[in-house]
Amino acid sequence: MKVERILKTLCAAVGTSGDEAAPVREALGLTGLPDGQVDALGNGSVTLGAADARLHLLLEAHMDQVGMVVTSVEEHGFLHFANCGGADARVMPGCPVRVFASEAAQPLLGVVGSVPPHLNKDGTDKVPKTEDMTIDLGLPAAKVNVQVRPGDRVVPVYTPKMLLGTRMASAALDDRAGAAALVRCAQMLQKVALPGVKVTFLFSTREEVGGQGARTAAYTADAEQAICVDVSFAAQPGVKPEVSWKLGGGVMIGAAPILNRAMGRKLAALAQRESIPYKWDVMGGSTGTNCDEVAVARGGVQTALLSIPERSMHTPAEVVDLQDVEDTARLMAVYVCDLCGAKLPEEPEEKPAMQEIFSSTGAVSTDTDAQIWSGCLPKLCTARGISGAEDAVRELILSYIRPYAEKIEITPLGSVLAYKKGRSRARTRLLLNAHMDEVGLIVTHITDEGLLKFAAVGGIDPRILPGRSVTVGYGSETVPGVIGLKPIHLTEKGERQKSIPMDDLYIDIGAKDKAEAAAVVTPGDMVTFDSVYEENGCSVKSRALDDRAGCALLIHLMQQEDWAYDTVFEFAVQEEVGLNGSRTGAFLAEPQAAIVVESTTAADVPGTEKERQMCRLGEGPVISFMDRRTIYDKEYTQWAFEEAQKAGVPCQWKEGVAGGNDAGAIHGSRGGVRTVAVSLACRYLHAPMGVISKEDYDAAAVLLQRLAERIAGSE
């Protein structure tokens, strides 16, 4: 459909309130009309028809999207921010974002963080206040202060994507969907003579912060009539039928005191005549749209409102049906033709193409350095593999290690045991372990409406789920989706401050009903977060760093040509759901000693006292003395610090006993295994985007090789 290309182009052009130049420019260009104008507040307008026409009609949609604005830079380089428009705080924790920094050549990738739930007195029951959240760019404070300024805009990371059928998911569909309808209307009307009627297409600014753009532009336009196009509430869980309409159900025609009843009735009659489905959208007071500004311009403007149904408004997971956008465009075009006695030419009907069942599960950012210092880590982090479904990750790892392994075994549960030959036989049989699996979700049920219910696989803070973009399924047959939620406009004040229980969330894949969803999704299908991988010279930001970073370090060690002692490398499955892979793998490998290579929670974020931060990025690999599953070997932990000192690399204690890892199963295997854990400090563990330090990663590679040699060579 033509509208798909238009809407993807408009949504991809980022523009928060007061900063809408990019989407306005795109919209004006897409109309195909010459002489577009941009006014002092950034409103874009273009006119079709004679200047001396007897009737001037204004068609309006707003271009700004909700987002955030940087308010200050904290002493350690974290960004404080405020809402720019009615952004929903419930979708912010763990949200990957782009910061449009004043002094940076490209937008900077960051993640919204807060105090980890186990250190927060409210746990996961409440959504952090906006003032208690910060944006982490993974950059030193000195760099951040050079590049970022208060007032810089921030939006969630998103890519407009087609779901099933004619449904599209993206941020900014409020109100780029309305703008797309205006563009399509302009394209239709260029094929028609419009005697006596002039039409101005207005792409207005600042609607989300008060409607100033439409107010001033309507004054300038001085039109007799206006039709404003916005989005309204689509049917979804938690939204009452009387204030919503089904996706794909057609146009919503507004009725309110400020709206002109005759125009509304005429639009309804034309919709009936043209077989355009519609529903009345009745409001007892203001409309909450730019109609409230346009209708009172100058001496008053006869104004109508058309709305496009949308799910999950003001989130990165907004969903519309393209047919509703097309129907809205056609209804406006028919209205204009009726004003001047013209007939809208028939267009060849465009049947929506069947969507290919495939979704991008992650990508390496274009901002990543050309020389990727972490070798295989980008591919490992963007491979999909929750606990029990690690197949793709395992095959990738095997492709990296086969040339360097004397023997490889795949255990019955799916772990990899790779035996590397050294210069000498080990005096102590050593196992190096990292786990392949990542946390994620699993489909549990398909509702009658075609929405997917799910459960967590591994430990996930439910606050990081709303609004996230996800991929459902296995292998190449995957389905894109978004985790939807009730629009913030329809929530009570107390409800906005509470985290949404997982049972109240759902995955929207664009299915019209249960049968359509069941054709492509089965209960038990895995669900992973979509993410972007980026290295910036100081840090890595990605999903699944726990424990793909550990796997990458083990691959690096396996690929070393000069290796001192025979060693067993284990890439374990199912760590996140009970250490199952390492328990059985250790039994089969029969080690006498083990080094577990992990990622561990770093709470060095604003709001956490230093004594509760556990560990810190940039201070080297993390050595544990104890956690909730393991008391680590005292001599080996001491050796870790000694070898770090000899190598001249930093090393730090894990200053707490929270958490656990595969050591819990390995150290109790058979008659007991002497075990040490070497971890990477990672912020926002088990979220769609974590952050680790480049220096820590490099130091861990050096330390692990020295520590492995010392342990394997000891009696």
Which of the following is catalytic: 390, 535, 570, 575? Answer: 575
The correct answer on CATH 3.40.630.10 for the domain covering 387-438+543-712 is yes
Q: What's the start-to-end Cα distance of the chain, in Å?
A: 71
Quick one: pLDDT at residue 495? 83
Q: What is the mean pLDDT of the chain?
A: 93
* Higher-pLDDT residue of 219, 608: 219
Q: For residue 490, report the phi and psi dihedrals to the nearest 5 degrees.
A: -105, 15
Q: Scan for tokens 């656990």, then name that residue.
A: 660
Q: How far apart are CA 547 and CA 65, in angstroms?
A: 36
CA pseudo-torsion sign 216, 219, 223, 226: positive
What is the structure's pLDDT at 357? 42
Higher pLDDT, 334 or 372: 334
Q: How many CB atoms lie within 10 A of CB 590?
A: 13
Percentage, residues of the chain above pLDDT 70: 95
CATH code linked to domain 67-156: 2.40.30.40
User: What single string gives the DSSP state of each residue in 559-621?
Assistant: T-SS--B-EEEEEES-GGGTSHHHHHHHHHH--SEEEEEEEEE---STTS-GGG----TTS--
- Could you confirm whether 575 is annotated as catalytic? yes
Q: How sure is the predictor about 313, in pLDDT bands with cuts at 50, 70 and 90?
A: very high
Mean pLDDT of all residues in 486-515: 90
CATH topology of domain 440-529: Elongation Factor Tu (Ef-tu); domain 3 (2.40.30)
Closest CA to 6 of 252, 173, 193: 173
- The neighbouring-strand residues paired with 57 are 199, 225
672 CB burial (10 A radius; 0-12, 13-18, 19+): exposed
Share of the chain above pLDDT 90, in %: 86
Please give the CATH superfamily to which domain 2-65+171-340 belongs.
Zn peptidases (3.40.630.10)
Q: Is 166's pLDDT higher than 80?
A: yes
Token pair for 599: 């990622």
As annotated, the residues of the chain forming the CATH 2.40.30.40 domain(s) are 67-156, 440-529
Q: Which residues pair with 631 in a beta bridge?
A: 626
Give tens-digit pLDDT for 627-661: 999 999 999 999 999 999 999 999 999 999 989 99
Q: What pLDDT is recorded for position 373?
A: 59
Asked if pLDDT for residue 310 goes beyond 80, the answer is: yes
